[in-house]
Amino acid sequence: MKYEKEIVRRRTFAIISHPDAGKTTLTEKLLLFGGAIQTAGAVKSNKIKKHATSDFMEIERQRGISVATSVMTFEYKDCLINLLDTPGHKDFAEDTYRTLTAVDSVILVIDSVNGVEAQTRRLMEVCRMRDTPVIVFINKMDRDGKNRFDLLEEIEKELKISLHPMTWPINSGKDFKGVYDLSEKSLLLFTANTKADDEDAIVIENLQDTILDTKIGEADAKHLRDDVELIEGVHGELSVDDYLGGKIAPVFFGSAVNNFGVREMLNTFIKIAPIPRSRETSLREVEVGEDKFSGFIFKIHANLDPKHRDRIGFMRVCSGKFERNKYYHHVRLDKDIRFSNPYSFLARSKDVIEDAYPGDVVGLFDTGNFKIGDTLTEGENFYFTGIPTFSPEIFKELVNKDPMKTKQLEKGIQQLTDEGVAQLFTQFGGTKKIIGCVGELQFEVIQYRLLQEYGAACEFRALPFYKACWLTSKNQKKLDDFLRYKQTNTAEDKDEHPVYLAQSEWFLNTEINNNSDIQFHFSSEIHK
């Protein structure tokens, strides 16, 4: 491999969780270890997001939630880590789903108090679709939570994945005393409101050693010995191949806010997490070690800087070497484009980069050329596959409140839906614009951004639709007839693919049964 040295040192992963499980706090601690930030609280105060200080981010600050995926690059122990922090809120799940197509592995944060929550299940379903390797971090051990064995059983049952404990907690809540590292055979003691350090780890090769009784007390030492004997009897050594195949998830316990148990996970992560992998395209599998560059756009963010009407496309490099000022082939538009100011995010000394390698995420200034799923190559015509668009759950008609601003509204809704914050459908035989979202909060964001960034005032009227289904058929006449007869319930998406908007589950099932020549799809893979 021409770029092997660069490829093997890269790790590209996403942190995912239900809201409030501690994802942003964990992100911050990882950045502290990598020297990318110097002070705690920088993530929450947006100090590190120097490209993300737009008015739109006010919504994030007011609500205290992340609504856009953040990309952060830092170095740790000779590894270059690309970390993607995703929105936890279910209303922004689609952004997270697409981000998962751009990473090679995942760290899943679970709150020890609440256990597995609804959003966690949905995110794991997406991980299982592509057998993404997962590491689990059980957070908030310094709070009174669920019994650790019960919690592991719940995670295995709910998320349908086998777990392999790598560290084991000694009590929880106010009695939390620390964790025992099962692979390093060392004890890390916890003191509230102090940061743990490497020097704090006490090597205990033999758990029968009386030093354990001295450090944590006889009763807790006995509990720990019994627990470890049980765990080692059941789990044995971690199979790295099973982890890489998405069959087993290593588990770490800790408290992100106290920076406790995080370093153990990070050290294991850089040892076992996958390097960038080869990827499927519409023509063939693109090997990660190929000489020629290829990459795809998995996210678009408009107006990161409100003073300049800029859009940034987030591109995952899949093969070869990306170079600044070199022309690359935009497959969908069939034209060549070059980028004079490609960005890396956060922790490189310069923001503008000269080159990037497989696994890297690069920010490309976009003048309106990109849609999510677009592929760039050195001439070959293929698309990277597996970038899904899911069926929305809430549908509303977009109503223009100011006819003088029609052009601004058109442009704004086109750009915002290009970003993937929502889906835009146009009703067949009319001009009614229907916005489909996963959650109510997205409509608030769209309304706010249309007004702030495009000066266009709008409102939304609820529509009685239950689901959007993309339609395909080998019999074009049958499909055309269906679209004509069902005009009030059919529309086309932005790529002019036909869509059926079902009023209820009963209507949907009836149409599926009555139209065997037509296939109804609940997700549309872009560029199918």
Instruction: Please tell me the predicted confidence (pLDDT) of residue 42.
Output: 47
**What is the pTM for the complete model shown?**
0.79
Instruction: Please tell me the predicted confidence (pLDDT) of residue 415.
Output: 82
In angstroms, the CA 289 to CA 287 distance is 5
Chain segment 45-81, per-residue pLDDT in tens = 444 443 333 333 454 445 444 444 467 888 888 899 9
The helix or strand, by DSSP H or E, that contains position 454, with its residue range, turns out to be helix 440-454
Instruction: Please tell me the predicted confidence (pLDDT) of residue 528.
Output: 44
Looking at residue 438, what DSSP letter applies? S
Strand order in the sheet with 248-253: 70-76, 79-85, 10-17, 105-111, 134-139, 248-253, 162-165
Instruction: Please tell me the predicted confidence (pLDDT) of residue 45.
Output: 44
**Which residues in the chain come in under a pLDDT of 50?**
40, 42-57, 59-61, 63-69, 198, 347-350, 526-528
The DSSP result for 208-265, as a single string, is: TSTHHHHHH-HHHHHHHHHHHHHHHHHH-S--HHHHHTTSEEEEEE-BGGGTBSHHHH
Question: Can you list the domains of the chain with their CATH numbers?
Answer: 4-179+236-272 (3.40.50.300), 279-377 (3.40.50.300), 391-525 (3.30.70.3280)
Beta strands at 79-85 and 162-165: parallel, antiparallel or unpaired = unpaired
CB–CB of 261/167 below 8 Å?
Answer: yes
Instruction: Please tell me the predicted confidence (pLDDT) of residue 26.
Output: 87
Instruction: Please tell me the predicted confidence (pLDDT) of residue 53.
Output: 30
Instruction: Please tell me the predicted confidence (pLDDT) of residue 192.
Output: 66
Residue at token pair 């809704």:
413
Instruction: Please tell me the predicted confidence (pLDDT) of residue 197.
Output: 52
